[in-house]
Structure 1
Amino acid sequence: MARYDHIADVLRQRICGGELAVGALIPSADQIAREFGVGRDTALKAVKILRNEGLLVIGRDCNIRVERRAVPAVEAPGNVVEAGPASVVRARMPTPRERDELGLPDGVPVLVVRTGDVEEVHPAAGTAVRWPRSGD
């Protein structure tokens, strides 16, 4: 994995996990470069990835802030994922590799369904998750 992809993944997790809230300023490219021990250009590539995903935006003050892009609503799911009683589902932005593999446009999140040691990644738009009803 390229260093800028790793940095983008870490920043994406901070954003999706709420550590960097919507509207918050992100660290400067120089600060990111120091934190990860990389050059400024590598840090800028990571920021560009997140801007392309719609997670970051350049404000009028030229600072880069966390942004949340709306995902178009889908009337009916095209994919229904069956989850077990012990399944855990979380939403996050896809990695560049996942976006390519799933053919997703920028800004569309994925659902990660984890059951035991098995993890499945599905596009969030058009996917529904079904859990067994209590008592089933």
Structure 2
Amino acid sequence: MPQLKYEQIADNLRGRITEGEFAPGDLLPSGRDLCEQWGVSRATVVKAMDVLRNDGVVVARQGSGFTVVETPVARPAGRRGTGPRSSGGRPYRRLGTPTREAPPDRVREALHLPDDRNALRRDRLVLLDEGEPYTLVSAWFPLDIADACPRVQQNGPIAEGTTRYVTRQTGRAPARATDVHTVRLATASECHQLGLVQPAAVAVTLHTAYDEGDKPLVCEEGVTGGALWELTDSYPMESRGNEEP
């Protein structure tokens, strides 16, 4: 399905931000300039900016237009759905440098990788509003994705969001995902990153996203201290007359 004009404008600006044309805090082109460039109405430009704002890419500055966010947000692993990235997004910081290494067995199986195949690992520490650690996330990318998406191999944040960037670079969008939740004791390294004292129980979410061809795009392992992890599901229940509950 062809993109609508406001989607084209939003994607164009996302790409220009990610490629470094606009840095954090930079002012984006004015609404008038975008209207002239794209031959669209003011309402269309406003709709494009609303999309970027909901995705946590830009912020409105009264009297000056829109600027690139200075503090990008990221979400914990799992429970992505179809909502905007800013929904559930939190401040975060990158940890270390992305590396090509053998993933853990659970990740390797989720990515459908042979035993001897590496993947690209990219770590982030998602923070609470007060700046305290919330969840430690290791994102693992198949090497065909990593090779097609050079920015995931770099240290810095991807302003448009990794999912959008991978889709733009590869043409492969996530069509479905599987989340598996388990509980275990934290490793010494995880305790250090999350500010926990051993022994400490952690909840682990293994999130795998697949494209329309059912090929894995990424597998994320999110580790959260037991005191901070909570899963709430709301769903309808079918009435079956006078059946016993």
TM range (shorter): 0.5 to 0.7
Structure 1 stretches of 5 or more lacking a match?
A: 104-119, 128-136
TM-score, normalised via structure 1 length:
0.61
CA change 1:44–1:11 in 2 (3 A) is same
CA change 1:121–1:17 in 2 (3 A) is farther
* Paired residue secondary structure (2:17): helix
CA RMSD of aligned residues (A): 3.1
Residues 34 and 45, structure 2, Cα contact 8 Å, conserved in 1: yes
Asked whether 1:80 is paired with 2:140, we answer yes
Separation in structure 1 between the aligned mates of residue 56 and residue 16 of structure 2, nearest angstrom? 15
Higher RCO (C-alpha 8 Å, min separation 6): 1
* Residue type at the aligned position of 2:148: V
2:72 pairs with 43, 46, 69, which one?
Answer: 69
Structure 2 stretches of 5 or more lacking a match?
A: 75-91, 93-124, 126-134, 153-159, 168-172, 178-215, 222-245
Q: For residues 104-123 of structure 1, what are the structure 2 equivalents within 5 Å?
A: 121-122=217-218
1:52 deviation in Å? Answer: 0.7
Q: For residues 1-136 of structure 1, what are the structure 2 equivalents within 5 Å?
A: 1-67=3-69, 68-71=71-74, 72=92, 73=125, 74-77=135-138, 80-83=140-143, 87-89=147-149, 90-91=151-152, 92-93=160-161, 94=164, 98=173, 101=175, 121-122=217-218, 126=220
Identity rate, percent: 29
* Paired residue secondary structure (2:52): helix
CA change 1:121–1:38 in 2 (3 A) is farther
Match of 1:108 in 2: none
1:13 deviation in Å? Answer: 0.6
CA change 1:49–1:121 in 2 (3 A) is farther
Separation in structure 1 between the aligned mates of residue 5 and residue 44 of structure 2, nearest angstrom? 7
Aligned residues: 105
Separation in structure 2 between the aligned mates of residue 75 and residue 21 of structure 1, nearest angstrom? 26
Separation in structure 2 between the aligned mates of residue 55 and residue 102 of structure 1, nearest angstrom? 24
* Paired residue secondary structure (1:75): strand
1:81 deviation in Å? Answer: 2.9
Q: Deviations over 1:23-82 (max 9, x none)?
A: 1111121111111111111111111111111111012555311114232425253x6333
